[in-house]
Amino acid sequence: MNFVTLSFVLFFLPVLCLGWSIRRFSGLYKWFLIAAGLVFYGCAGPTYLSLLLGIAVLNWGTAAMMPRIPKKAGRTFFISLNVILHILILTYFKYYEFLVLNLISFADIVGWDFSCLFSDALADIVLPVGLSFYTFQGLSYSIDHYRNPELEPRSFMDVLAYVSFFPTILSGPILRENDFFPQLQNNRTADASDFTEGMAYIISGLFKKVVLASYLSEHLVDGVFTTPQDYTSLATLVGVYAYTIQIFCDFSGYTDLAIGVARLMGFRLPPNFKSPYKALDLQEFWHRWHITLSTWLRDYLYIPMGGSRRGNRYFNLFMTMLIGGMWHGSGLTFLIWGALHGMGLAVVHGFKYVMKLIVGQARVPAIISLPAKGLSWVLTIHFVAFLWIFFRAESWESAVQVIERICALDTEGNGFTLMIIIAIACGLVIQWIGPALFRVFTGIQARLPWVLQAVVVALLCGLIMNMGPDGTLPFIYFNF
């Protein structure tokens, strides 16, 4: 169920009204949140409710066993089994088609025909929406209890409420145990700031998604990445910049909506984006982009692999980002995207290490550091934008076509409008002034009576929806 649809509004309004009336009763409110989450996810994919329940059972059961197993070897066995089961689930839904098609291709080379064995199965597999997010969320709970077996395991209903929390179930942010359970147990009363800031997040998310992301997608990005040969080289390049802004506005817009909806339900979610295109290097970019995923990969993959303390830190970085690319999808383009980000991070870490040896603790004069920061920013955002080509392209061949079209320096073909440049500029300006605008807006709203706040919100939401193109596109990360 898309946040930017009438069906979600019809679902959320009664949930919000009833939720505010019972939120002070934590036990009853927990059951209410579970029911809302199951209904919400059932509308998105009713056939996969059993999968959601299975993820909850697996991680609840694994965590519950940890204090009862005295030897670490036994705990390691069960957590390893749990992780393997999750990997198998993700592999089946995300990689089955990729693996089978490659098996068929290999069989054709040696003269075998396996296509008849898999044709029906391939047609029946549909990726359950949100699977990648709630599996990671569930795994973080059971792994934390493996690492700290003295922690008191939560009840199954607590874990189910955690895994099925409807504001985050489709595309995050990926919650941790400490992000959710303390808030679940508290007796909450209505807080004026919940409404003021929650609606501000919703307005922010709507503007990013409906006005900027959807416009860029509809008026340039989709065409450039579908038929790049129809566009001039400059328009193709601008299309890459447009997608760089589109994916930020689309995903951070979804995150703002999720944070706003959760805030109205009485929960504060962790930030997922902090002006990532302000980053001066690739390491800083990943501290600002999809923060809950990057920290998940750091805590549950990079550090267990050895991090910067054991083994080769550069290899560990590379493998972490390669697996991060695989998490997004089975195509070769995602592997390339993850591998190049891993290589880029390794280079940045190595460069910082060398510079620390050379410069030491000496301060670099401002006259030198400012141009250096500017150059670093330009290199970083262009490296990130270049890699978005592989992330967006449907195949390796399509990505190569886009790159070749840019390099052709051809002036024949379709161009782009001034509004595309304005939308790209808005997406960049948001990186610097967005947080300040949010504070100003919430400060003004907080001084108004609730009735006037509601009127302002309704007018802004209506204006934003009218500014958007016909038929708002689904969120990009629903595909992952």
Contact criterion met (CB below 8 Å) for 261 and 167: yes
Task: Check whether residue 250 and residue 374 sit in a common domain.
Answer: yes
Cβ(133)–Cβ(172) below 8 Å: yes
Q: Is 157 among the domain residues?
A: yes
Split at pLDDT 50, 70, 90, the class of 30 is very high
152 and 264 co-located in one domain: no
Looking at residues 442-457, what average pLDDT do you find?
91
Range of the domain at 411: 194-474
Pair 278, 391 in one domain: yes
Task: Let me know if residue 56 belongs to a domain.
Answer: yes
Q: Does some domain include residue 480?
A: no
Q: What rounded mean pLDDT belongs to the chain? A: 89
Say what the pLDDT of residue 155 is. 94
Please check whether residues 284 and 390 belong to one and the same domain: yes
162, 115: one domain: yes
Considering 60-64, 112-116, 469-473, the range whose residues carry the highest mean pLDDT is: 60-64
Same domain (yes/no): 171, 211: no
CB atoms within 10 A of CB 300: 18
C-beta separation of 227 from 478 below 8 A = no
Instruction: Give the model confidence (pLDDT) of 96-133 as tens digits.
Output: 766 666 666 666 666 666 555 555 555 566 778 889 99
On whether both 282 and 413 belong to a single domain, the answer is yes
Look at residues 139, 172, 189 and tell me which one is the last residue of a structural domain.
189
Give the tens place of pLDDT for each residue, 295-319. 999 999 999 998 778 878 899 999 9
- Single out the residue of 87, 165, 171, 180 nearest to residue 128, CA to CA: 171
**Pair of tokens at residue 174:** 């990926």
Same domain, 178 and 269: no
Has residue 479 been placed in a domain? no
> Any residues with CB less than 8 A from the CB of 104 and at least 6 apart, and which?
114, 115, 118
Domain boundary among 158, 189, 220: 189
Residue 251 sits in the same domain as residue 156? no
134-143, 190-199, 213-222, 393-402: least confidently modelled range: 190-199
Q: Would you state the pLDDT for residue 223?
A: 96
Say if residue 343 is in the same domain as residue 369: yes
- How does residue 4 score in pLDDT terms, banded at 50, 70 and 90? confident
Catalytic residues, by residue number, are: 328
Domain boundary among 189, 224, 244: 189
Q: How many domains would you assign to the chain?
A: 2
**What's this model's pTM, rounded to 2 decimal places?**
0.92
pLDDT in tens, 238-283: 999 999 999 999 999 999 999 999 999 999 999 999 999 999 999 9
Report the alpha-carbon distance of residue 456 to residue 435 in Å, rounded: 20
365 band by pLDDT with thresholds 50, 70 and 90: low
Q: Does residue 397 sit within a domain?
A: yes
Residue 181 maps to a domain: yes
Pairwise pLDDT comparison (357 vs 203), residue with the higher score: 203
- Tell whether 226 and 309 lie within a shared domain: yes
What is the reported pLDDT for 98?
66
pLDDT tens column, 168-213 = 998 889 999 999 999 988 756 667 788 999 999 999 999 999 999 9
pLDDT value of position 407: 95
Q: Is residue 1 part of a domain?
A: no
Query: What are the tens digits of pLDDT across the range 208-249?
Result: 999 999 999 999 999 999 999 999 999 999 999 999 999 999
Q: Are residues 175 and 304 in the same domain?
A: no
User: What is the per-residue DSSP string for 206-231?
Assistant: HIIIIIIIHHHIIIIIHHHHH-GGGB
Cis bond leading into 173, ω under 30°? yes
372 vs 447, which has greater pLDDT?
Answer: 447
- The answer to whether residue 239 is domain-embedded is yes
Kindly state the percentage of the chain with pLDDT values over 70. Answer: 90
